[in-house]
Chains A and B, each alone.
Chain A
Amino acid sequence: GAVVSQHPSWVICKSGTSVKIECRSLDFQATTMFWYRQFPKQSLMLMATSNEGSKATYEQGVEKDKFLINHASLTLSTLTVTSAHPEDSSFYICSAPRARGYTFGSGTRLTVV
């Protein structure tokens, strides 16, 4: 079935550094990728939508200069958390729409110290 490979699965970084998270569609072309953030014991909150070949669209309250999204090809979308701070620590998950349902990556747990 359709698989979205997300890396890294976890990362610890120092405050002020940047972290890149990748999501690759392995056996299909993903023209759209959704990026979610999930805090402990909470639901998934949509951050932004990336579209191959065009600018990402961000949900209200999400800083586009802090969360840089690039959809470089039909199989790769990246989220870069720039100048990370401890409050950015969270579980980040990507998702690609499919013919039936949406396929999720396995998530990236980001811890900023």
Chain B
Amino acid sequence: GQQLNQSPQSMFIQEGEDVSMNCTSSSIFNTWLWYKQDPGEGPVLLIALYKAGELTSNGRLTAQFGITRKDSFLNISASIPSDVGIYFCAGQLVGNNDMRFGAGTRLTVKP
């Protein structure tokens, strides 16, 4: 089952605003990944994090791997309408090869 707590569940923002979402867990992860999913399609990788404290950017997206290895956040700056979609965090537990997903954050951007 789910082992990641992702928040917020949904966000309604105005174009141009910044967005922040995060995932936390009581377990330790050795990898954190952030994905975006458009309706009817598979998730697409946005950012991958592999070391505690790592801060990585991909265009307007920035994500960090928490120092405790139990959390991660994703920021989107200057949102645009095509940012609309569902964002998932995913983590790989220490000693496991599979990936667990957060419940997702549904982002709506109003022009």
- Which residues of A are at the interface with B, using a C-beta cutoff of 8 A? 6, 32, 34, 36, 41-46, 49, 91, 93, 95, 97, 100-107, 109
Q: Are A46 and B100 in contact (CB under 8 A)?
A: yes
- The 4 A-B pairs with the shortest beta carbon distances in the complex, nearest first, are A104-B42, A101-B48, A101-B45, A107-B42
Nearest chain B CB to A59 CB, angstrom units = 8
Q: When chains A and B are docked, how far (Å) is the Cα of A32 from the Cα of B101?
A: 18
Q: Are A106 and B41 in contact (CB under 8 A)?
A: yes
Task: Give the total number of A-B pairs whose CB atoms are below 8 A apart.
Answer: 53
Nearest chain B CB to A100 CB, angstrom units = 5
Q: Can you offer 8 A-B residue contacts whose CB atoms are under 8 A?
A: A32-B97, A44-B43, A46-B100, A91-B40, A93-B42, A95-B42, A102-B45, A104-B42
Closest-by-CB residue of B relative to A99 is B48
Residues in A neighbouring B2, C-beta threshold 8 A: 43, 45
Residues in A neighbouring B28, C-beta threshold 8 A: none
Q: Are A95 and B48 in contact (CB under 8 A)?
A: no
Q: When chains A and B are docked, how far (Å) is the Cα of A104 from the Cα of B90?
A: 13
